[in-house]
Structure 1
Amino acid sequence: MSKRVVTVSALAGIALLAGAGAYAFAGETRSAGPEMTKGSVGYVAPGKDEDGSLTFTARVADDSGVRNLKVLAWPASMAPAPDAEDMAHVESATCEPAGPSGDAAALCTYKVKVTAAEAAESPKGAWHVAVLASAEDGGRTFAPKAAGFTVKG
């Protein structure tokens, strides 16, 4: 099992990262933190002889620059839902400049492999993607339900 899945499943208490579909980003932002837009989640189911993947992308912008974007997929049935402090223990997306030099926006992408065994162990039903964006000046924006998808059984 990959380090990413071990880290995430330790937090969620289950093997995660399986689902289907992609939905529009519905992040919650504060004026003091980075702005997240154009978020989406995509899932490719594992095949008979090949792994699948879970991918989340979003545009993140802050006047001071983007430090990172932490990403966690979690089943809606999980209680309690993850909070901003939980996000310190998950991996970051890869963020690249989204525009011309001097633009403080980044396009952030998080992609993780999903094996057939992980997909089989994952809870079925609604899932959410939580994200925590951090700016260079220390501002943060947490969106516990930044995107959603459904794991079909």
Structure 2
Amino acid sequence: MSPRVTLSVAAGTLVLAAGAGAFALAYADEQPPALSDSVARYTAPRADRDGSLTFTTDVTASSGVKNVKVLAWPENSSLAQRKPTAKDMSAVESATCEPSDDDTARCTYTVPVTATDADASPSGRWHIAVLATADDGSSTLDPEAAGFTVE
């Protein structure tokens, strides 16, 4: 093979490799947010104190975490038939998120539970639905990110 052909093949290989790398980087930037380590903790109220519901999750988004919406819903409700949608999640409360590294945030949602709240809530299994939105507008909906039991 002539040196010119060898040089052209090598240059072409570099261009293909660089193009594949750029595609991989662009694809990585377009990934929706990912949820991990999601945990719900429910503490029932007692006569001397309120209870609480606390949900935590780690959200990873290469463009940054814009918002995390959280909805607790009972398994024996109308939502069990159809699961919460992104539209359902638009009006619910947001978690508080603190960065834990360059592209991950630890998000926490806590709400007090009074005796009146507990009495009005159905007993049994509950789920936590989460809608995580990244700064680039991509989002991930997990209708059953975590669960807990109300007795």
TM-score by length of 2: 0.76
Say if 2:33 and 2:59, in contact at 8 Å, map to a contact too: yes
- Tell me the distance in 2 between the aligned counterparts of 1:83 and 1:57: 20
Paired residue for 2:106? 107
Q: Deviations over 1:46-96 (max 9, x none)?
A: 121211100000000111000011000000111133211110000100000
Paired residue for 2:93? 91
SS at match of 2:86: coil
Say if 1:93 and 1:109, in contact at 8 Å, map to a contact too: yes
- Tell me the distance in 1 between the aligned counterparts of 2:93 and 2:123: 23
Alignment of structure 1 residues 33-72 onto 2, 5 Å: 33-72=32-71
Q: Deviations over 1:77-133 (max 9, x none)?
A: 11133211110000100000112xxx1110000000100111111101111100000
- Give 2:46's aligned amino acid: G
Higher-Rg member (1/2): 2
2:123 is aligned with 1:120: no
Structure number with the higher helix fraction is 2
- Tell me the distance in 2 between the aligned counterparts of 1:138 and 1:122: 34
CA RMSD of aligned residues (A): 1.1
SS at match of 1:90: coil
Unaligned runs of 5+ in 2: 1-29
- Give 1:45's aligned amino acid: A
Unaligned runs of 5+ in 1: 1-30
Aligned-pair distance for 1:32? Answer: 3.3
- Give 2:56's aligned amino acid: T
Say if 2:42 and 2:150, in contact at 8 Å, map to a contact too: no
Aligned-pair distance for 1:40? Answer: 0.1
Q: Deviations over 1:17-42 (max 9, x none)?
A: xxxxxxxxxxxxxx731010011000
Say if 1:32 and 1:140, in contact at 8 Å, map to a contact too: no
Q: Report the count of equivalent residues.
A: 119
| Greater relative contact order structure (CA < 8 Å, 6+ sep) | 1
TM-score by length of 1: 0.75
- Give 2:90's aligned amino acid: A
Q: In percent, how many aligned pairs have the same letter?
A: 55
- Tell me the distance in 2 between the aligned counterparts of 1:78 and 1:67: 30
